[in-house]
Structure 1
Amino acid sequence: MFRKSVISCLLLMAFLKLSAQEKYELNSGWQCRNIAGIQATGQQISDPGYRLSGWTAATVPGTVLTTLLDNKQVPDPMYGMNNERIPDIYHTGRNHYTYWFVKDFPEKAPAGNAQVWLHFRGVNDGCDIFLNGHKITAATHFGAYLRQSYNITPWLAKSGKNRLAVIVYPPEFPGNPNGGQGGDGTIARNVGPQYTAGWDWIQPMRDRNTGIWDKVTIEKTGAVRIKDPHIITRVPGTRKPGGAQAPAIILVSATLENAGAKSIAGTLRYTLAGNTIQQKVTLAPHAVTTIQLPDLLLKQPSLWWPAGYGPQHLYQLQLQFLNNGKQDDVEEVEFGVREIQTSWNTHTRSREIAVNGQKIFIKGGNWITSDAMFRFSKERYDAEVRFHRDMNLNLIRIWGGSLTERPEFFEACDKYGLLVFQDFWMSGDCNGRWQDPMKKDDQWTRRKYPDNHQLFLESVADQVKMLRNYPSLAFWCGGNEITPPADIFHAMKDAILPALDGTRYFFDYSNSDSMSYNGIGGNGDGPYGIQSVPYFWSYRTFPFNSEVGSVGVGDYESLERFLPVANQVPPDLKPGKIDSLWDYHKYIAYNKSIDPYGKTTDLKAWADKAQLVNYDQYRGLMEGFSSHMWDWYTGVIIWKTQNPWTALRGQMYDYYLDPNACLYGTRKGAAPLHVMYDPTDGMVMAVNNTFSYARDLMLELKVYDMHGHDSLLSQVFVEAGPATVQKFMSVKAVLDKLSEKEGAFFSLRLLNTQQQAVDENLYWLPDATGNYSGLQHLLPASVKITARKTNADSVLVTINNPAGGPVAFFNRISLVDAQTKKRVLPVFYSDNYVSVLPGEQRTITVSGAAVAANGGALIEVYGNNVLRQLLTISR
């Protein structure tokens, strides 16, 4: 057995090594130069003998602005007012950001029928490509989202020394960044991202993200290449996670391209769970043919579920084309077995979502993109999506003014169980939904954007092929708050999507009647900005709200990363006047919400109080919507959960991946099984967002005063059915009485029969005047804190609060560098901004690759009434 396993492993290693050689990325060693002063042609520049005198190192994948920043030719646009010091393309002209990019790479011309392919996954906006003195592009390529593939076999050098030269042209219509949403709107005449001309949460990207912004790869195959595999999974019936499963149906197809001049007979096949499925194929010379393989009835499938409902099992499928027994090409596809259904909920009058036959209450976040300058990485995507999973969310919506997200993003969503709602590249702001004096063209003209409808449709078809196998991809959407022009819309809905996908619901636009009917009793999307917490419980919005929320200032350490010292003061000390730099970074005023915690002129104290507001806002938002689950609402999507720039609004973590209290307030309010308190009528209730019945749970309600003395209000066994909201009792009168003098803490717990908390929630209540006077004078808590490493990437932090003292309130836990005392990022916390009741303890897990990479790091803890402590991590 051992010998057989060793031999199998060696064979697998040999195969993996061979596979790795068949495709590789050109991601280093690039050089670039602006077109100014270059008289040579593309044929001349791409000749390996042409001297690259005066050229500089280039970042590929990356935008022109990224390369300039990496070469210290422009200041960091994320910091302070630096973005104002970078020339804007609207004023300089497009030539200022038109660049040549050159890459020398070794690859010998193959023998026999072997082929070599060059792939570009994203260039913004246009380009011409040359290789070894030959022009590869028959015509200039346009389209930020349209992938490119070229057979470069005839042009490879016999010596194996090759030069690739690419001239990249900026968008033809960069637009005037006049402060409007998308500037003057003309950015939307292109088929590309619209936010790059500026929005109400970002300043303009000065090059409009011109560049080879996504991967460039070389692929080697035999005469036949496998393209665009397509896997559909059918999961009939109503399923539950775990246990025996009825069969699922797997449908697999792929496009085959015969690059040779001879007819080829071969076999397309794959093996899955011990089943080999194959189809014999005959391909004419230079033919491109789509092949449908026989269906597979997969027995006892392991299903993929959204986060919070079940595991995210993924299968690996290796699709091969065999030519006379020899492998010409292989395509590896990861997929999940799941089926997503939608139906119309006639009670809420909104779209209801089901996965594998089980209805899912949507708790989502709106996403722009990982980085405003398109500096993407698998690691950053993984961290950001993990943050969303940690918030107990189950969906991410990709907003239409940005892009179709990258495969690495969808891989992370597959891994963590986040459904994806993917808008196409339209916005009501630029594409004419509203009259807007900031826009250059009238509504009728803007309604026809983009200029090239055919390019838009080609890009849609291409991106659908690229993304359709990811189980996390749940929905397509015509655009943000507007449908595309009629000819584009009907081609997408009636032709492209049915032919190339056909398994996902297509929303006309992000708040259309097909998603959420805004009839009697509905008040549209939003609200945006800070609200009183009761507002989230009592104000009825769209029954499937695609955008609600807004605030998200980080704490002091977050702010000092991008605020110059002169601006490190509370931003709005004077009524109606906001610090100009804070305003530049799109700040929304907090003071009416911070003042009840006590006025301050110190930024650190101000930012700490802002975290109390953040936590309360997003816990209240998620609880308010969950309390009306299946009655008012079928889903809610927070606007927004992340920023690709150093903005001061709408984020659960900052640009540097440092979480703030919004994340943990959302996590608390969106817990799958959760006990909560309605501040409008004092009702205590539980929401059960699982498929299981919650029985034999003890509901424990206690009130703590500012000295830590507790009063038991109730202790009773309760239960909550699956996918339900269960109301128990109102305690408003007694809470109002106990908190009227200086406020109070209200503790709610659900305990199992082992007396372990399955959910707990702690509210801090104001006094009768609406102020948190007691918190302003809370006595210090004498906590004992330990930190112990449990494995290479995990630390357990335990906070023990002895009996007889006050609540240890709102403690921030951080992993910090031992020398600088600055936070290590990104790091993941099982909870944060935690409070510990007298006589109890809380244990928090700190984890992530950064924990393992920083062996000498320390744990920092501080709270509202807990002095800052730095702890050595024991082994």
Structure 2
Amino acid sequence: MKKRLVYILLFLHLALVGYGQVREISLNSDNPSIRWEIKPQSDLPYSGQEIAQPNFRMKDPVRGIVPGVVFAAYVEQGLVPDPNFADNIYRVDERLFNRSFWYRTSFRLPVDYKKGQRVWIHFDNTNRYADFFCNGVKLSGVAGATRDVSGHMLRSKFDITDLVRVGQENAIAVLITDADQKKTRTAKEPFGVTASPTYLAAAGWDWMPYVPGRLAGITGNVSLRFTGDVSMEDPWMRSDLESNEFAYLDFSTDLRNAGDQPKEITLEGIIKPGDIRFSKKIRVAPHSIQKVYITRNEVKEFLIKQPLLWWPNGYGEPNLYSCSLTAKIGDEISDQKEFQFGIRKYEYHYVRNKAGWPVLNFYINGKKIYLKGGNWGMSEYLLRCQGEEYGLKIKLHKDMNYNMIRLWTGSITDDAFYDYCDRNGMMVWDDFWLYVAYNDVANDDDFKANALDKVKRLRNHASIAIWCGANETRPKPELDNYLRAIVASEDHNDRLYKSSSNQDGLSGSGWWGNQPPRHHFETSGSNLAWNDPPYPYSSDNGYGLRTEIGTATFPNYESIVKFIPNDKLWPLPTDEQLKSEDDNVWNRHFFGKEAANASPIQYKNAVNKQYGESTDLSAFAEKAQYLNLEVMKGMYEAWNDKLWDDAAGMLIWMSQSAYPSFVWQTYDYYYDATGAYWGAKKACEPVHVQWNASNNSVKVINTSLKSLDSVWVSAQIFDMDGQEIKKYGLQTSATVRSNVAKEVFRLNFDGEQGATALSDLHFIKLTLKDRKGALLSENFYWRNGRKELDYTSLTSLPKAKLEFDYKKEAGTEGIMLRIVNRGKSVSFGNRLRLVDAATNERILPLMISDNYFTLMPGEEKFVRLTESHAKQLKNAKLLWKQYGHAEKETLKLKNIF
């Protein structure tokens, strides 16, 4: 008990860190002194005023999670079976959660609270409707009203100065009411017309299940804030570039005077780096909000010479500035805020392709940017992703060489996501909450209020690259015009507002089923554009800017066994089951009817035909990774091939996993990277060498801002025995300008069935080196010259003899692995894993420079394990699995650091 008290006091000390009078205390449930409780409204026959009395006690409440949702709290307490596993979530009685719930907690003011300070309570997000009470008083709306706060993106802030009790318990109660629509899984009405603005996947999609309660809860941070009478709201530092050598700043904020008297305010700010200081005196009337502007006409330092620019990943550093603000009344600090911003300039041009249709091109800081990335449907299907976990997800996207994430239907409401995107140079395509054929909502005013708050709340983030009205449709005119207007008025049109996610300069959506690389090189086809006249697709146009294209993606076996019951692991469902069976655990994880767009039958058959029938799930899942790798790499490389000759970028559907499933992911729900991850990472390199499976063209793709002078490009062809067949190899020197794709030669396999014939299945290895011989890019392909896509003979490769050693990298917490093929056979498909030596549990994510790689006899390779594993490598084992052979331990990594 004594240790717990010390911990609570330490937490409060840290939570109260601030300047002068301005302090903030977290009321989230991870604060050990805060306990949220939840109970259905129907079980509490009391008013909000009664429940919010400090002496009120809930009987048998459920421990709440804030931020979080009601259903996740029940999961955390073990009151429903693990919804990740089997079909458990489909067996929950949704009626128990599709109703109103009370949240309640209590708090005490800090011991050094000074009378006269204003006490504010802040709620970042609530879903879907909320009513707020404190110490027996209704805070929101008017007496007798319900559903006072409507929508999942609205911030709520209440002055509770006159209600709080010093030295006593203070109570907060929040009534959360769920969305009106789709009260049961089988209800026919579409979720979104009445529900929006909300998390539109909450009632199920073809990649996540229906969530009981439809993500109703207090879904954002809750905090107490202590200020003087005047507080700042929505400060904004806008930047503009005259050129990359000169930036202009303009600042604005709202000042709210909650007091009964007018106040003379001195607003002061410091921008770093640069130590730019500014100040302004303002008079604010009582009980009013005053808009304040400070321009470069008032502060000459707002013209910054040689600014540190924010660049997307692969184009430069994502430099950020901080702005610290203080509002003073005389010598007393009334409010303080700090935020970050980036100096950059987005521009957009529509370029006609060969068919005469416009293609949207992105520019930043005067440079054309090729978009490479993926879609997020949700961060996690029960909204259990918070804080630093966003940093992990964004880091994985950066590692794949991505530069953009599209937030499908504005699915993220957490500021932390945008913070990490800013820091990692990850641009954000940010949708609002409309989708497909449903471009209307039940209450326009609710939608507009949430949209306005979203723009004002997020506009300081350099990462936001575009605002988009709707997924695969356009908002109805009234909403469309409103969104366009607020982007103009509140974001100065610094980012483009675009009505639709797949039309008007974009090349449609889809397909979503696996296709071999040749298919993508030979056709740009999409099955969802809805243009009239139809959007033109061919082998040399129609690629354009594609915001959705995807494939089913089997996870690794070690992940599958975590969510599919043992007795259902094998055999896989039959084609008929995949086509039409509902009550099948594989279907419940979206390998079947519910994810028909992912073409599960086609996927299963492709694995079996290309790599051979399997005798168990472990073998099938292993083979699937090579299909994943080849398909994912082929999609990106087909777009690379047409770089600026029609193609302006590609975003896959989807780049991360919200639920344990078999579709549309690079890494899986448990952070284990599939073959698709490595295919994307390779194809999206800023400097990349690649082969065209259709016409044998070899190109250097340079999407960096640096020219490649006198680089060496080589292609080596190896047979199944690992012998180089030099007849088919080529090498040349080339200069490749910045931001271009350049063909350097074409491979010629004519006569491959002659005297110097290749084995039917053979390998292509490409390397790109600078003039000093340093490796810039390498790539590897397997090809069957006689029977296309037949890779079944890979299983006949003998077991290889690989030698492993490692050394710690000086000055870092990284490890460099050296791997040598000491045998006489090809070591195809080498997968490395890290596990804890004591438990054999996977160490995830595995942050490693390469995986699923192939080594020819005598070949040496260096693979880097990053510093992310420093703590985990105190007692770890490195496992190696060659394709088709048993996994074995190679190294023990113990107390390296």
In structure 1, the residue matched to 2:839 is 820
1:366 is aligned to 2:381: no
Q: Which moved more, 1:852-861 or 1:783-792?
A: 783-792
Q: 1:719 aligns with which of 731, 735, 750?
A: 735
In structure 2, the residue matched to 1:285 is 286
Deviation per CA, 1:298-330, whole angstroms, max 9, x where unpaired? 122111110011111111110111221322111
Match runs of 1:187-198 below 5 Å:
188-198=194-204
Structure 1 residue 33 displacement after superposition: 1.6
Unaligned runs of 5+ in 1: 1-12, 240-245, 432-446, 519-523
In structure 1, the residue matched to 2:490 is 499
TM-score, structure 1 normalization? 0.90
In structure 1, the residue matched to 2:513 is 529
1:125 is aligned to 2:134: no
Structure 1 residue 684 displacement after superposition: 1.1
Structure 1 residue 338 displacement after superposition: 1.0
Verify the 8 A CA contact 1:307 1:416 in the aligned structure 2: yes
1:220 is aligned to 2:211: no
For 1:184 and 1:17, the matched residues in 2 are separated by: 47
- Cα 1:501/1:160, change in 2 over 3 Å: farther
1:729 is aligned to 2:740: no
For 1:689 and 1:186, the matched residues in 2 are separated by: 39
1:136 is aligned to 2:139: yes
In structure 2, the residue matched to 1:558 is 559
TM-score, structure 2 normalization? 0.88
Match runs of 1:214-363 below 5 Å:
214-237=220-243, 239=244, 246-272=245-271, 273-295=274-296, 296-347=302-353, 349-363=358-372
In structure 1, the residue matched to 2:165 is 157
Letter in 1 for 2:249: I
For 2:310 and 2:855, the matched residues in 1 are separated by: 36
For 2:415 and 2:370, the matched residues in 1 are separated by: 26
Deviation per CA, 1:423-447, whole angstroms, max 9, x where unpaired? 0000014x1xxxxxxxxxxxxxxx5
Verify the 8 A CA contact 2:838 2:875 in the aligned structure 1: no
Q: 1:450 aligns with which of 441, 446, 450?
A: 441
Q: Which moved more, 1:838-847 or 1:672-681?
A: 838-847
In structure 2, the residue matched to 1:754 is 772
For 2:740 and 2:778, the matched residues in 1 are separated by: 18
- Cα 1:635/1:405, change in 2 over 3 Å: farther
In structure 1, the residue matched to 2:629 is 615
Q: SS state of the match for residue 388, structure 1?
A: helix
Structure 1 residue 719 displacement after superposition: 1.8
For 1:495 and 1:643, the matched residues in 2 are separated by: 32
Q: 2:462 aligns with which of 455, 462, 471?
A: 471
Letter in 2 for 1:834: F
Structure 1 residue 110 displacement after superposition: 5.5
Q: 1:592 aligns with which of 605, 611, 617?
A: 605
Structure 1 residue 199 displacement after superposition: 1.1
Structure 1 residue 768 displacement after superposition: 1.1
For 1:826 and 1:525, the matched residues in 2 are separated by: 30
Structure 1 residue 671 displacement after superposition: 1.0
Structure 1 residue 389 displacement after superposition: 1.0
Letter in 2 for 1:385: I
Structure 1 residue 501 displacement after superposition: 4.3
Letter in 2 for 1:795: I
Verify the 8 A CA contact 1:145 1:404 in the aligned structure 2: no
- Cα 1:15/1:599, change in 2 over 3 Å: closer
Structure 1 residue 545 displacement after superposition: 0.8
Structure 1 residue 247 displacement after superposition: 2.4
RMSD (CA atoms): 2.3
Work out the number of aligned pairs and report it: 824
For 2:392 and 2:558, the matched residues in 1 are separated by: 20
Letter in 1 for 2:173: A
Structure 1 residue 189 displacement after superposition: 4.1
In structure 2, the residue matched to 1:441 is none
Letter in 1 for 2:589: H
Structure 1 residue 767 displacement after superposition: 4.6
1:859 is aligned to 2:865: no
Letter in 2 for 1:763: Y
Structure 1 residue 287 displacement after superposition: 1.7
Verify the 8 A CA contact 1:464 1:501 in the aligned structure 2: no
Q: Which moved more, 1:331-340 or 1:863-872?
A: 863-872
Q: 1:146 aligns with which of 137, 154, 163?
A: 154
For 2:568 and 2:213, the matched residues in 1 are separated by: 27
Letter in 2 for 1:131: C
For 1:93 and 1:856, the matched residues in 2 are separated by: 43
Q: SS state of the match for residue 157, structure 1?
A: coil
Match runs of 1:349-748 below 5 Å:
349-400=358-409, 403-429=411-437, 431=438, 447=439, 449-495=440-486, 497-513=488-504, 515-516=505-506, 524-540=508-524, 541-572=542-573, 577=578, 580-587=584-591, 588-589=600-601, 590-594=603-607, 595-712=609-726, 713-734=729-750, 737=753, 741-748=759-766
In structure 1, the residue matched to 2:103 is 101
- Cα 1:18/1:814, change in 2 over 3 Å: farther
The alignment-based identity, stated in percent, is 27
For 1:808 and 1:153, the matched residues in 2 are separated by: 70
Letter in 2 for 1:547: E
Verify the 8 A CA contact 1:742 1:772 in the aligned structure 2: no
In structure 1, the residue matched to 2:62 is 56
Structure 1 residue 382 displacement after superposition: 0.9
Letter in 2 for 1:757: L
- Cα 1:31/1:576, change in 2 over 3 Å: closer
Q: 2:865 aligns with which of 826, 846, 850?
A: 846
In structure 1, the residue matched to 2:791 is 772
For 1:652 and 1:759, the matched residues in 2 are separated by: 21
For 1:799 and 1:572, the matched residues in 2 are separated by: 39
Letter in 1 for 2:446: L
Verify the 8 A CA contact 1:572 1:591 in the aligned structure 2: no
Verify the 8 A CA contact 1:396 1:421 in the aligned structure 2: yes
For 2:479 and 2:575, the matched residues in 1 are separated by: 50
Verify the 8 A CA contact 2:696 2:748 in the aligned structure 1: yes
In structure 2, the residue matched to 1:872 is 892
Match runs of 1:159-178 below 5 Å:
159-178=167-186
For 1:709 and 1:542, the matched residues in 2 are separated by: 38
Letter in 1 for 2:815: V
Letter in 2 for 1:469: N
- Cα 1:122/1:317, change in 2 over 3 Å: same
Structure 1 residue 111 displacement after superposition: 4.3
For 2:97 and 2:833, the matched residues in 1 are separated by: 46
Q: Which moved more, 1:603-612 or 1:833-842?
A: 833-842
Letter in 1 for 2:46: A
Structure 1 residue 500 displacement after superposition: 4.3
Verify the 8 A CA contact 1:810 1:863 in the aligned structure 2: yes
Structure 1 residue 680 displacement after superposition: 0.8
For 2:575 and 2:699, the matched residues in 1 are separated by: 41
- Cα 1:347/1:596, change in 2 over 3 Å: closer
Verify the 8 A CA contact 1:367 1:399 in the aligned structure 2: yes
Q: Which moved more, 1:730-739 or 1:460-469?
A: 730-739
Letter in 1 for 2:428: V
In structure 2, the residue matched to 1:205 is 211
Letter in 1 for 2:463: S
For 1:501 and 1:652, the matched residues in 2 are separated by: 36
Structure 1 residue 154 displacement after superposition: 0.8
In structure 2, the residue matched to 1:67 is 73
Structure 1 residue 842 displacement after superposition: 1.9
Letter in 1 for 2:154: L
Letter in 2 for 1:106: R
Q: 2:85 aligns with which of 79, 84, 88?
A: 79
Letter in 2 for 1:478: G
Q: Which moved more, 1:224-233 or 1:14-23?
A: 14-23
Q: SS state of the match for residue 478, structure 1?
A: strand
Letter in 2 for 1:374: L
For 2:192 and 2:693, the matched residues in 1 are separated by: 46
